[in-house]
Amino acid sequence: MVANNRPLSPHLQVYRWGLHMALSILHRVTGSALGLGTLVLAWWLMAIAAGPAYYGQFQDFILHPFGRLVLFGLSYALIFHLLNGIRHLYWDMGLGLEVKSVQRSGQGVVALSLVLTIAVWVGGYYAAGRLS
Amino acid sequence: MRTPLGKARGLGPARNGTAHWWAQRMTSVALVPLVVWFIVSIAALTGADHATIVAWIANPFTAVLLALMVIAGFYHLKLGGQVIIEDYVHHEGLKIAGLMALNFACAAVGLASIFAILKISFGS
């Protein structure tokens, strides 16, 4: 970039952090994480297609504490991105854009994403107990 | 979603008008029910063995829904990732390399996923 002395519009650092800013950047962070997470999805599908021996390798990874941590992170990222994405679609219709509504829907997304992620994991462990 | 005026003016500085924005919304709307179905299904399959998972994916309804989610998902990732790269990577060469890597990766990982779904469905 050519250096110039034109006045610049104030950027991120001059604003006081709020929930709306945190959720906005978290939407991009979770989106990027899910982008990397597609590798786990593709590995899962390829391992199933390749046969039980390869699927066993995938299961070894996902059942390891580190694998479970990765999967928990991805499940939270997916649920957060899904809920906050619905919030974005709602805004696209020109609704809920008042400061108060944005604040309230943001709090709702944070609470609901945590509750649903825990519910999915409780449901998962319940299903695993039922299957074995 | 393109206005006649937008077309006449050469579709704006990006030369494709609202096409990118609109495709991002279309894939978002498609992904909402698909991802909800996927999360619920995967949670219910926790701890399932290889044969059970194969039988689930081999079901035509599962295979089609999974393939739709993969297609919409990777298209959505390509569009979203592109905006992130354009916003944060200011070096022109790095930006082009990043966009190429993103598109190649989406095509490759997406194709691998689709191929695996088809192979499981048609039997190995």
What was the ipTM of the complex prediction? 0.90
Q: What is the DSSP string of B71-119?
A: HHHHHHHHHHHHHHHHHH--SHHHHHHHHHHHHHHHHHHHHHHHHHHHH
* B73: chain A residues, CB-CB within 8 Å: 38
Give the single-character DSSP code of B15.
T
Q: Tell whether the model's pLDDT for residue A59 goes beyond 60.
A: yes
pLDDT for res A129:
87
pLDDT digits (tens, 9 = 90+) for B31-42: 999 999 999 999
More confident residue, B64 or B7: B64
Into how many domains does chain A fold? 1
pLDDT digits (tens, 9 = 90+) for B75-84: 999 999 999 9
pLDDT for res A77:
98
pLDDT for res A14:
79
Percent of chain A predicted with pLDDT > 70: 95
Determine the topology of domain B23-122 in CATH.
Answer: 3 helical TM bundles of succinate and fumarate reductases (1.20.1300)
* A78: chain B residues, CB-CB within 8 Å: 35, 39
Residue identified by tokens 């200011």 is B90
Alpha carbon distances (Å) from A108 to A9, A19, A69:
32, 11, 24
What's the N-to-C CA distance of chain B in angstroms?
A: 44
Q: Tell whether the model's pLDDT for residue A132 goes beyond 60.
A: no
pLDDT for res A131:
59
Residue identified by tokens 């390829």 is A46
Q: Tell whether the model's pLDDT for residue B72 goes beyond 70.
A: yes
Domain that holds residue A38: 18-131
The answer as to whether A6 is a domain residue is: no
User: Which among A46, A55, A78 has the least Cβ separation from residue B50?
Assistant: A55
The answer as to whether A12 is a domain residue is: no
User: What is the residue-averaged pLDDT of chain A?
Assistant: 93
pLDDT digits (tens, 9 = 90+) for B14-61: 666 688 999 999 999 999 999 999 999 999 999 999 999 999 999 999
- Give one word for A128, left, alpha or beta, with left for phi > 0 and alpha for psi -120 to 50: alpha
CATH number at residue A84: 1.20.1300.10
Q: Tell whether the model's pLDDT for residue B10 goes beyond 60.
A: no
Please report which confidence band the pLDDT of residue A113 belongs to, taking 50, 70 and 90 as the band edges. Answer: very high
pLDDT for res A13:
74
Average pLDDT rounded to a whole number, residues B92-105: 97
pLDDT for res B11:
60
How many residues are there in chain A?
A: 132
- Mutation target for A interface from B22, B50, B62: give the one with most A CBs within 10 A: B50
